[in-house]
Chain A
């Protein structure tokens, strides 16, 4: 479809050509680009915002005629948001092809009664058949020449090896997995490679499944790369308009980029939703340049990935030891009886109650993981009846999730009951961990390894306890235990 720009109520808008009979209006064709006019004075701010991205008109702080002018001079390209395929539709932004995630509506913009739009990436603004995606086709952004690393911490031997492996690969294309136990200090492992890439003028991205990690990583990276342009991207971020050579982004925000990054670092590659969601994988492949280097980080790589490393198709750097040099706490399995039934009767299993009282007595903080929100509510209520310390609970849709985690970190809460949403990323010193009903299906091997990895994170308290209360050991529990033991063995501990 072609678009024309016209004035509607004193505002310039873009609308499909078919609706307008006025032949004097200029057409805006998709996928056709006028030749680049070298004498055109392009807007540097537009270049910096749009470079390496694919955005909607509504997302750009420029008027349509400013953008159109850049198009006419060959600096901006329009492409269709939704394409028809042989068996349905394809969203050019998020790669969605599932027909149930497309819908139609009677569109006031294009006056089509059946304008198809994508429901998969609707949270970033609607992409419909009449929506052009805008990208930059002018000159590349020039980054600062000097991007030196300001960090004088020390790396453990495992970290050093992995760090070197990553740095050696910068400049070539390919893939590398860094398999590092929880608490190995993987962020520091990235520093050297990132420095090398930045000084080569490469565009680097760290993508992670969770906003919490973006918020934690961004200030650390800004501090160690003070001369580099760094920006964080997440829902609600205010840095999305700042041009940046080093981008820290949630997976979802990657949809906004197009052929932008030479180096893509995918954090927690096994974590939901990346391992599930095909469209997010599309987002990664969409956001990198044709020649690129992919670095995967994981404490619990998937079976497919492990196999690939064994076969030698995927390079792997393993860090089996935590940065403080002490072994990973090995979980202890505790018989918890028919915990589900006990809960329904309003009682706590005796071994759990015993642990709970001892925990409160010790004054140490604990996270108690449960399998579902309904268990969460019942258990929290029962715990509150039994003990006299501050108890809180948190789950994915909790509106105060962020505040509650902060309170727990600040030691205002002693016991935090949580679903698996806090299995990753949350690092609190002086912590013990319990899993209530560890035999439940949601506690997979990787979930349990991650949960156990919450304990013993600091040098001064490397011996945190991990207890799995169960009603019959599950295969995942045994696998998790073996996983942790073998990592400790590999580390020579």
Chain B
């Protein structure tokens, strides 16, 4: 018997040979919580990794969604973000979990995703460095931690803090899509461009919503000499 990392209820793990001989890590979430999370698999958008099974057919063209086509069509943004892969569908339950993690500050929740994160990383690229999306100094103080950094740590690969936010601005989650896309100045800057040069980079963040945060971050890295930028987020 163990306690669920998220809902704290007592549960018994499903019995299996792998678990018995120690091949499989015991799950950290109870079956009820696990069931409410939806893994993204099957058909996805080639670029942003959105799950096509929960996405209306008319907003896609072949294996790419209209949002990504819109990004790629704009010369300024063509190829800036090679691809994003997300682990879970951003459903109500995921929203609740991320809210508890970020806004209530329950950092421990992130550990529930560590097993999945490390296996997903292997699929994308082996020779890239991990760069978490930074918070502004003020937001970082307020929250006490950076959730993107906690996620990156869970991938068990070297994490580099190569980005910094220039100024404190309003929370992305309080802006509309239009506002997010229309901002002119890039909010990020590169701290150490020597480390970036000729590197493949994987950005890490909690949620991919419009994709503008990740693209702005990717852009400054490319300008500093990085060769290829991908990203991993917890939810999409």
**Chain A residues in the interface with B (C-beta under 8 A):** 8-9, 11, 13, 58, 100-101, 103, 105-109, 115, 117, 119, 122-123, 125-126, 128, 399
Contact = CB atoms under 8 A, between A and B. Distances in A.
Nearest to B92: A399
Nearest to B149: A106
B144 A8 contact: no
Given A9-B137, A119-B108, A122-B100, A109 B168 contact: no
Nearest to A124: B104
Contacts of A125: 104-105
B11 to A, nearest CB: 13
Contacts of B8: 101, 119
Contacts of B138: 9, 11
Contact of A108 (B106, B108, B145): B145
B146 A126 contact: no
Contacts of B17: none
B104 A108 contact: no
A227 B143 CA distance: 41
22 contacts: A8-B137, A8-B141, A11-B138, A13-B141, A58-B142, A101-B8, A103-B106, A103-B107, A105-B107, A106-B145, A107-B144, A108-B140, A108-B143, A108-B146, A109-B141, A117-B107, A119-B8, A119-B108, A122-B100, A122-B106, A126-B105, A126-B106
A122 B105 contact: yes
B77 interface: no
B73 interface: no
B3 interface: yes
Interface residues of B, number: 20
Contacts of B92: 399
**Secondary structure at chain A's binding surface: helix, strand, loop or mixed?**
mixed
A201 to B, nearest CB: 37
A103 B138 CA distance: 24
Contacts of B100: 122-123
**Secondary structure at chain B's binding surface: helix, strand, loop or mixed?**
helix
Nearest to A15: B141
Contacts of B104: 122-123, 125-126
Contacts of A119: 8, 106, 108
A212 B146 CA distance: 36
Contacts of B143: 108
A107 B145 contact: yes
Contacts of B108: 103, 105, 119
Nearest to B105: A126
A105 B145 contact: yes
Contact of B105 (A100, A106, A117, A399): A117
Contact of B141 (A108, A126, A128): A108
Q: Which 6 A-B pairs have the closest CB atoms?
A: A103-B108, A105-B107, A126-B105, A122-B106, A108-B140, A122-B104
A101 B107 CA distance: 12
Interface in B136-158: 137-138, 140-146, 150
A9 B168 CA distance: 10
B44 to A, nearest CB: 27
Interface in B66-119: 92, 100, 104-108
Given A122-B106, A125-B104, A105 B137 contact: no
Contacts of B3: 100
A117 B104 CA distance: 12
A13 B146 CA distance: 18
A123 B3 CA distance: 18
A440 to B, nearest CB: 18
A413 B20 CA distance: 50
A355 to B, nearest CB: 32
A283 B93 CA distance: 29
A9 B135 CA distance: 14
Nearest to A58: B142
A123 B6 CA distance: 12
Nearest to A8: B141
A9 B3 CA distance: 41
A108 B108 CA distance: 15
Nearest to A101: B8
A165 to B, nearest CB: 39
